[in-house]
A and B are shown apart, each in its own frame.
Chain A
């Protein structure tokens, strides 16, 4: 079989500089181009380069920001919440155990409605200790009230962090945003990417005038972090739930506007060869590009398969997903995480299943878990998953238990 060389000649977007960067550098570049005021990062593998690069840029005078040296991730998150509360643009980054140590403060960032932006290099959780990629850390933070965006490649890491500032600080949103990048697979892989000039980033994600949101200011004192008795707490939380759900509009608008200005369009979901697809695989992050490769391979064999990438995981685009999948014959969900003791062990599967069931889309569904703790997923694995999916479609029923793929029996 002759090798198919696909030469893609990309015209560099106007004014954008083509650079080579790891996912970690891309996140740091984006924070720098967004001109962050305060950075507080505690280093943890595989996110360390973000802290290093930002510290380097501050030391070189490329970035005028305060770097707060903290003693833990709990303090890092506390520091950026406080910085944001004074009106500063604040950025942090973490991974795995660090995200777990932050957990308490994640709730407070969202509850206090502080527009903090954080990059998370996804990594497995201990025990046993493992520093490689899976999404279990982010899944553990999914209910904290943050907007969570997954990146598929290094370019997306940069673009998502830039968009995160615009989304988080929007007056209708005022919520923290987490940008996930696959540990090692993106965090340490060098890829070419386009960097947007800083003035254009700042015109896209402008620093708003002080006072457009309540901030700590000695001249206009406010109380933040109040005690809310049973007669107030419920209403405040209900409002927060609404803010997160409604942030979908702002996230979509930010993706469209980004495309208009910089040539790369983003939405909540990304369909791939979905038009006449019978069997569809849903996935997130860098894993999604692997699924796309499998879809391409099967399409060449004439099998009608397609894929959906969930880019924005929280708020979950349930309506949009149900609409996209309404004509599918069977839906598989590839989780790179494990939710112990759930009705199925795939956390993304649970979200997809509820979205479809509550919106009247009844198709056979299969939950796949693969790639825990950095276990490689191959295109042939995903091809095999599609075969299993087709089996269930023929039987006309869903799998009641999660299929653990790629594990030694």
Chain B
């Protein structure tokens, strides 16, 4: 098993150093693969418009919507206990959240590099 002990940092290695048959020697390694490069549009949540219904959190296929215990008061004076944000490491930009949002609080903004 000695040959399998390599850094958990997913760096691209030369062919001599890749694990045999691409076998991944620890569980849950999918979390180490960041999907940000897949996106052409990024969802941006407007905390003003958002009514905290949690539908985006429910529908996101990658669990990339995070619910934060961060109070927020809107300009109209309404206070929410939580805030929704996007984990851009794992969001693939599929747009399901924007499609499902009942108050159109999520905009899909083109990724510009």
A-facing residues in B1-57 (Cβ within 8 Å): 1, 4, 12-16, 18, 20-27, 29
Do residues A113 and B26 form an inter-chain contact, with CB atoms below 8 A? no
Main DSSP-derived SS at the B contact region: loop
Q: Across the interface, which residues of A come within 8 angstroms of B20, CB to CB?
A: 113, 174, 213-214, 239
> Are A221 and B23 in touch, CB under 8 angstroms?
no
Interface centre among B13, B23, B25, B26 (most CB of A within 10 A): B23
Docked Cα-Cα span, A86 to B106, in Å, equals 47
Among the listed B16, B25, B26, which residue makes an inter-chain contact with A239, where contact means beta carbons less than 8 Å apart? B16
Question: Which residues of B pack against A, CB within 8 Å?
Answer: 1, 4, 12-16, 18, 20-27, 29
- Highest count of chain A CB atoms <10 Å: which of B20, B22, B24: B22
Q: Does A232 belong to the interface (CB within 8 Å)?
A: yes
Which residue of the partner chain, among B1, B14, B18, B29, contacts A214 with CB atoms under 8 Å?
A: B1
Question: Is residue A111 contacting chain B, with contact meaning CB distance below 8 A?
Answer: yes
Is A197 at the interface (CB under 8 A from chain B)? no
Tell me if A239 and B23 are in contact (CB < 8 A): no
Residues in A with CB closer than 8 Å to B26 are: 221-222
0/1 string, A230-243, CB within 8 A of B gives 1: 01101110111010
Digit string of A156-186 for contact with B (CB within 8 Å is 1, else 0)?
0000000000000000001000000000000
A211 to chain B, nearest CB (A): 6
A106 CB, min distance to chain B CBs, angstroms: 15
- A127 beta carbon closer than 8 Å to chain B: no
Indicate whether A223 reaches chain B with its CB closer than 8 angstroms. Answer: yes
21 A-B pairs in the complex with CB atoms less than 8 angstroms apart? A111-B21, A113-B21, A214-B1, A214-B4, A214-B20, A214-B21, A214-B23, A214-B25, A221-B26, A221-B27, A222-B4, A222-B24, A222-B25, A223-B24, A226-B24, A228-B22, A231-B12, A232-B12, A232-B18, A234-B15, A239-B20
Residues in A neighbouring B24, C-beta threshold 8 A: 222-223, 226
Contacts of A174 in B (CB 8 A): 20
B18 to A236, Cβ gap below 8 A? yes
CA distance A380 to B29 in the complex (A): 64
Q: Is A112 an interface residue (CB 8 A)?
A: yes
How distant is the Cα of A174 from the Cα of B12 in the complex, in angstroms? 23
Would you call A407 an interface residue if the criterion is a C-beta within 8 Å of the partner chain's C-beta atoms? no
Complex formed: what's the CA distance from A214 to B16 in Å?
A: 17
Q: Is A224 an interface residue (CB 8 A)?
A: yes
**Closest residue of chain A to B29, judged by CB?**
A223
Q: Which 6 residue pairs are nearest across A and B when measured between Cβ atoms?
A: A223-B24, A238-B15, A235-B15, A113-B21, A221-B27, A235-B18
Q: Could you tell me which A residues sit within 8 Å of B by CB distance?
A: 111-113, 174, 211, 213-214, 221-224, 226, 228, 231-232, 234-236, 238-240, 242
Besides A223-B29, A224-B21, 18 more A-B contacts (Cβ < 8 Å) are: A112-B21, A113-B20, A113-B21, A214-B4, A214-B20, A214-B21, A221-B26, A221-B27, A222-B26, A223-B24, A224-B23, A226-B22, A231-B12, A235-B18, A236-B15, A239-B15, A239-B18, A242-B15
Assembly CA distance A2 to B73 (angstroms): 114
Complex Cα distance A372/B26, Å? 50
A198 to B65, CA, bound (A): 61
The distance in angstroms between the C-alpha atoms of A235 and B14, with both chains bound, is: 7
Asked if B1 and A236 make an inter-chain contact with CB atoms under 8 angstroms apart, the answer reads no
Chain B residues whose CB sits within 8 angstroms of the CB of A213 once the complex forms: 20
Find out whether the CB atom of B21 lies under 8 angstroms from the CB atom of A211.
Answer: no
Complex contacts, A224 vs chain B, CB 8 Å = 21, 23
The residue on B at minimum CB distance from A243 is B20
Bound state CA distance, A401 and B24, in angstroms? 49
Q: How far is it, in angstroms, between the C-alpha of A228 and the C-alpha of B13 when the chains are bound?
A: 13
In the bound assembly, the distance between CA atoms of A223 and B29 in angstroms comes to 9
Rounded to whole angstroms, the CA-CA distance of A214 and B24 in the bound complex is: 9
Q: B66 → chain A, closest Cβ, in Å?
A: 25
